[in-house]
Structure formats: structure tokens, C-alpha cells
């Protein structure tokens, strides 16, 4: 039974999924993660509660996930 059917299909951009809807979800999630990773390099986080500016890209990504809803934490674009 299982050996007669292809369970996984190979879609564009090296996405391997069981059906079209999961392939579309994976493609959109990969695009989102790639955009957010590139976008974090152009941002700074100013935390007025702790009196510090976060400039390192990996720390900016962590701060975007954890500190966005905290008051007096601002996301600023680098120029």
C-alpha cells in the first residue's frame, strides 16, 4: 500500500511536502524568515527602560521577538 504511492512531492525552491497547501505554507514561512532576517540588519532597538541601544543583528532579532510589546522600547531604522 505505502510503497505504491509517492508520499512526498518535490516543489519549486527545494520544498518537499506532502500536499500543495503544506508546500505553500512552507514557502511563505521561508520567505517571511528570510525577509525578517535581512530586515533585522537595518534596525536598532532603543530600550529606554534599561538605558541601552541594541545594534547587533542577532540581539535585534531576539529583542524584536521579546520586547516589542514592552513600553519605552523603540525600533529605529539605521541610516
The string of pLDDT tens digits covering residues 51-74 is 999 999 889 888 888 876 788 888
Lowest mean pLDDT among 15-19, 27-31, 69-73: 15-19
Q: What does the DSSP 8-state code read for residue 69?
A: T
Question: Could you tell me the three cell numbers for 72?
Answer: 519605552
Dihedral of the CA atoms 19, 20, 22, 24 (nearest 10)? 160
Number of CB atoms found within 10 A of residue 70's CB? 11
> 68 φ, ψ to 5°?
-65, -35
pTM above 0.85, yes or no: no
- Region 8-16: what's the mean pLDDT? 66
Residue 28 DSSP symbol: H
Amino acid at each position: 500500500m505505502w510503497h505504491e504511492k509517492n508520499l512526498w512531492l518535490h516543489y519549486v525552491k527545494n520544498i518537499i511536502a506532502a500536499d500543495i497547501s503544506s508546500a505553500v505554507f512552507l514557502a511563505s514561512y521561508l520567505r517571511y524568515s528570510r525577509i525578517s532576517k535581512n530586515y533585522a540588519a537595518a534596525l536598532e532597538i532603543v530600550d529606554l527602560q534599561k538605558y541601552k541601544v541594541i545594534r547587533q543583528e542577532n540581539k535585534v532579532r531576539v529583542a524584536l521577538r521579546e520586547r516589542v510589546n514592552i513600553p519605552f522600547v523603540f525600533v529605529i531604522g539605521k541610516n
